Amino acid sequence: MSEPRFVVVGGGLAGLMATIRIVELGGEVDLFSLVPVRRSHSVCAQGGINAAVNLKGEGDSPEQHFLDTVKGGDFLANQPLPKGMCHDAPAIIYMLERMGVPFSRTPEGRLDFRRFGGTLYHRTAFAGATTGQQLLYALDEQVRRGEADGRVRKFEFWEFLGLVRDGEGVCRGIVALDLRTMQVHAFRGEAVLLATGGPGLVFGRSTNSVTNTGSAAAAAYLEGAIYANPEFIQVHPTAIPGEDKHRLMSESARGEGGRVWVPRKKGDPRPPGEVPAAERHYFLEEKYPRYGNLVPRDIGTREIYDICVNQGLGVGGEMMVYLDLTHIPREELDRKLGGILEIYEIFVGDDPREVPMKIFPAVHYSMGGLWVDYEATRDGLPDPSSPRNHGTNVPGLYAVGECEYQYHGANRLGANALLSCIYAGKIGALAATRYAANLRSSSEGAPSSLYESEKARWTERFAALSRMAGPENPYRLHQELGELMTREVTIVRDNRRLEAADGKLQEMMERWARIGLTDAGAHFNYPLAFVNQLRNMLELARIITLGALQRDESRGAHYKPAFPRRDDDHWLKTTLARRALEGPVLTYESVDTSLVRPVERRYD
Amino acid sequence: MGEKTIEIKVLRKDAPDAPSRWERFRIPHRPKWNIVSCLMEIQRNPVNAAGSPTAPVVWDQNCLENVCGSCTMLVNGRARQACATLVDSLGTAIELRPLTKFPTLRDLVVDRTPMFDALKKVKAWIPVDGTHDLGPGPLLSEEDQALRYALSQCMTCGCCMEACPEYNSGSKFLGPAPMAQSYLFLIHPTGRLHQTELRRIALEPGGINDCGNAQNCVRVCPKKVPLTEAIAGLYRETTIQWFRDLFSRPDR
């Protein structure tokens, strides 16, 4: 009998880790990715990965890491999985170290750690300022080893379209589009793991890569998977604006001592170097003496908004503040932050070693995503042997990484994303193989008509899309979507405007049906694929907006001035979005706070 | 007052076996735009310079911040990342072509599979025992880390392959990037445990001995990967192995 074969969609950290684990557990993997996996969005992560190994003698511990994570998420996270993640973090770091990740070192040759937001400990291991790239490469290399051994088949330049489900609703495989030939194919799998990343492109320009449309997660949602906490979107306080995308300026810049300030005088025309220290408003340090510039991202972003919009103190009157590294020695900056300084130099043209950077907040990460389950042991840790871990409500469909909603609650702490991707990939893979071992009938035996009919349905759908000949340009429509979502559904939210935004989104869905395509190509017809993605982005945009509209409180990244406080009595709840015929339906379920009782979240 | 515009000439191809053709576009000039912003403008307004509707230009892209390696193309004849190339640095006439050392699949999209296959050939990975908790990895000096980190920033973009005179259809040479990756794993403490195997692979046809030492690679690398330093290092390693094998390998 052949080895059980699994489908993994997405080749970032979560998908690659899942692939490595499945192979290690005796399975084989068909790995699908829009881009060669080594080019996945994890490559953009800069600052580092958290693990409380306490190599600086500060008394740090996995339990403290867990407490910081849950508090950072404003107590909206179900607690067992983050607890498991924080306790496994040291082992994950050591695994990555053994895989050859060139982590930055101390003089003794050990791993170095830096500070990051939302904690008072040096807990973040890093490889210069391109940690995500280095982690992705290490996992990519291990997957390539599996590929060389014939255990992994890669399908790169393939796009996930939808699920193949049998008569009982069990997920038995996927339908995918070969972008090289624009042909649709169906694939069998004992289980399917989605590791398809976040939906940054729903907001038009974000810090995300262009493949981060959220389209795959939305497709699963449209086929019955529950999408949880869609309204929790992280806006990163420090990015540099661009026409094609906004580029992240890592939190590690502040972790290494970078200071955020604006001139105290409104409209001060002087260049930053000529503003004397006494006339600089270090607003984060003044308001949050304990955490200073390293408050969690939701707080940093709101403070920048307050300074720029409410107080009118933004640099040049714009939504812009200084992020200042000029007091740090050049050599240290080059060694620890070289990668991000280079980005600033290339795209802005100034040398951040000499001139304070001008930065602004940009959409960065989705805490929400596909709803996934877990099973906890009596001591509150996830039970690693449970096939329920990371399973969606669709049997046989798993989700790992940014495309699911666990771990981060209402706000993610910096350097916890890489960790949650790898941890989720690890335990999600184990759960999927357990699930497959318990299956009464293998997908190998599923009738081929199941696959043929789904393939035919999607082939017909793409044929219909390619015939669209209306007046709307899909890229301009996407631009409008992004402008609307960024304006109405990011840092500050208001119910009347959210309602209006949802109306606009429904109009855009109608306009979507009037799109026209000018590309009839049978190879790499990206515009055609984009039209399908755009539809899915609009579906996600609606549940993000409706989730925000319903939630009358302020918690983590979700902030409504009309409801400025967290309201645990009514809203210590996970939002569950389901797709019904008439549109999205939102319900709520309680949060598992069995390990730490929610308290007021303060950083001052 | 007329709006300032730039003219972009793109070498297009509808299918792998279709003929290439030039198409011209005229787009508004905006300060700080990069090549990708220009191509996105064409997506939003897919009309060529003659005013005829056309298919938007197709190119590879992902991160748009010079770290994923996707959007390599020839910009005014030079291999570089489209995202990291600002139009202000180019004047008002821009010419875009696909890389020439790889098969063109569509417009500016090329097939760089050979680069990834080469990484398999040189075994560019650490042969870890497993993902379970085996404790910390080997200690590493700051100096060794710095070199490995510099080499590990290679984003498989293909600029060095385009520039290398030895990497061509008539040669077996795997190219500069895979050679540097071979060295990256050879100098890791765990890789050292397999140095004989790794050095012998690098000695095979297509390996280090096919490098002509033109040093073009290091000049075009967008990540400033010390390619020639790695190649020189690999050359030293393989020379040692060659001598060893000459005197001791029974099958020679």
Query: What ipTM was estimated for this complex?
Result: 0.97
Q: Using CB atoms, pick whichever of B33, B68, B127 lies closest to residue A43.
A: B68
The angle formed by the CA atoms of residues B201, B202 and B204, to the nearest 5 degrees, is: 65
Q: Give the mean pLDDT of B210-238.
A: 97
- Judge: A100–B126 Cβ closer than 8 Å, yes or no: yes
Hey, are the CB atoms on B128 and A142 less than 8 Å from each other? Answer: yes
| Cα A379 to Cα A559: distance, rounded to the nearest angstrom | 34
CA distance B213 to chain A (A): 27
Quickly state the pLDDT bin for A490 (edges 50, 70, 90): very high
Q: Give the tens place of pLDDT for each residue, A61-75.
A: 999 999 999 999 999
- CA A478 to the chain's CA centroid: 20
Burial of A516 (0-12, 13-18, 19+ CB in 10 A): middle
The answer, yes or no, to whether residue B29 has pLDDT greater than 60, is yes
Task: Determine contact, residues A102/A243, Cβ cutoff 8 Å.
Answer: no
Give the active site residue among A38, A123, A188, A297.
A297
User: For tokens 């390693």, what's the residue?
Assistant: B237
Share of chain B above pLDDT 70, in %: 98
As given in the structure block, the two tokens for residue B148 are 């490995």
A579 within 8 A of A570, measured Cβ to Cβ: no
**Three-state SS at A125:** strand
**What is the pLDDT at residue B1?**
45
From the candidates A41, A244, A478, which should be mutated to test the interface with B, based on the most B CB atoms within 10 A? A244
3-state secondary structure (DSSP) of residue A541:
helix
From B87, B110, B133, give the residue that closes a domain.
Answer: B110
Coil, strand, or helix at residue A120? Answer: coil
Strand partners, B78: B75
Q: What is the mean pLDDT of residues A93-101?
A: 98
CATH 1.10.10.10 is the classification of domain A5-232+367-447: no
Q: Could A527 and B16 be called an inter-chain contact, meaning their C-beta atoms sit closer than 8 Å?
A: no
B106 plus B122 within the same structural domain: no
Pick the CATH number of A237-358 from 3.40.630.10, 3.90.700.10, 2.60.40.420, 3.40.50.970: 3.90.700.10
Per the CB < 8 Å rule, is A523 touching B106?
yes
Q: Is the predicted pLDDT of residue B252 greater than 90, yes or no?
A: no
Q: Which residues contact B14 (CB under 8 A, 6 or more apart)?
A: A521, A523, B106
State mean pLDDT over A295-304. 98
* Closest CA in chain A for residue B31: A243
Q: Count Cα atoms within 13 angstroms, Cβ side, for B138.
A: 16
- How much of chain A, in percent, has pLDDT values that exceed 70? 100
A451-567 sits in which CATH class?
A: mainly alpha
B150 with B124, same domain: the answer is yes
| pLDDT for A265 beyond 50 | yes
| A110 is an active site residue | no
Do residue B238 and residue B144 come from a single domain?
A: yes
Which residues, other chains included, contact A471 with Cβ-Cβ below 8 Å and sequence gap of 6+? A514, A516
How many Å lie between the alpha carbon of A576 and the closest alpha carbon of chain B? 31
Alpha-carbon distance B200 to B203, whole Å?
5
| CATH assignment of the domain containing B78 | 3.10.20.30
Given a cut of 60, is residue A267 above it in pLDDT? yes
Contacts B135 to A, Cβ<8 Å = 94
Task: Tell me, yes or no, whether B150 and B43 share the same domain.
Answer: no
Say how many Å lie between the first and final Cα of chain A, rounded. Answer: 61
Most distant CA atoms of chain A, gap in Å: 75
Tell me which H or E stretch contains A549: helix A526-550
Q: Does the structure show a pLDDT above 60 at A107?
A: yes
Give pLDDT tens digits for A237-262: 999 999 999 999 999 999 999 999 99
Query: Is the same domain home to B133 and B240?
Result: yes
Contacts of B36 in chain A (CB under 8 A): 244
Q: Tell me, what's the pLDDT at B3?
A: 78
Inter-chain CB proximity A41 and B153 less than 8 Å: no
Confidence of residue A8 (pLDDT cuts 50, 70, 90): very high
Last-in-domain residue among B92, B110, B128 = B110
The residue segments making up the domain with residue B104 are 5-110
Q: Do A98 and B190 touch (CB under 8 A)?
A: yes
Same domain, B223 and B145: yes
> What's the rounded mean pLDDT across residues A204-222?
98
DSSP A215-239: HHHHHHHHTT--EE-TT-EEEEEEE
B74-90 pLDDT per residue, tens: 999 999 999 999 999 99
Give the count of domains, chain B.
2
Biggest alpha carbon distance in chain B? 81
Contacts of A98 in chain B (CB under 8 A): 126, 128, 134, 136-137, 190
CA B201 to chain centre: 21
| β-strand pairing of B93-97 with B5-13 | parallel
pTM, entire model: 0.98
Cβ–Cβ gap A98/B40 under 8 Å: no
pLDDT digits (tens, 9 = 90+) for B125-163: 999 999 999 999 999 999 999 999 999 999 999 999 999
Judge whether A390 and A428 are in contact, CB under 8 Å.
yes
Could you give the CA distance from residue A454 to residue A503 in angstroms, rounded to a whole number? Answer: 32
pLDDT of B31: 87
Residues B138 and B76 in one domain: no
Mean residue pLDDT of chain A comes to 97
Contacts of B126 in chain A (CB under 8 A): 98-100, 138, 141
* Residue linked to tokens 């119910």: A495
Q: Would you kindly state where each structural domain of chain A is located, as residue ranges?
A: 5-232+367-447, 237-358, 451-567
Share of chain A above pLDDT 90, in %: 99
Identity of the residue in B45, B64, B105 whose CB atom sits nearest the CB atom of A245: B64
pLDDT at position B249: 67
Q: Looking at the structure, tell me whether residues B177 and B217 fall in a common domain.
A: yes
Same domain, B89 and B138: no
CATH, residue B181? 1.10.1060.10
Taking the C-alpha atoms of residue B233 and residue B224, their distance in angstroms, rounded to an integer, is: 17
Of the three residues B94, B110, B126, the one that is the final residue of a domain is: B110
- What is the rounded distance in angstroms from the CA atom of residue A188 to the CA atom of residue A171? 9
Instruction: Tell me, yes or no, whether B27 and B99 share the same domain.
Output: yes
Can you give chain B as a three-state secondary structure string? CCCCEEEEEEEEECCCCCCEEEEEEEEECCCCCEHHHHHHHHHHCCECCCCCECCCCCCCCCCCCCCCCCCEEEECCEEEECCCCEHHHCCCEEEEECCCCCCEEECCEECCHHHHHHHHHCCCCCCCCCCCCCCCCCCCCHHHHHHHHHHCCCCCCCHHHHHCCCCCCCCCCCCHHHHHHHHHHHCCHHHHCCHHHHHHHHHCCCCHHHCCCCCHHHHHCCCCCCHHHHHHHHHHHHHHHHHHHHHHCCCC
- Give the model's pLDDT for residue B251: 58
Q: Which residues of A10-22 are buried (b: 16+ CB within 10 A; e: fewer)?
A: bbbbbbbbbbbbb
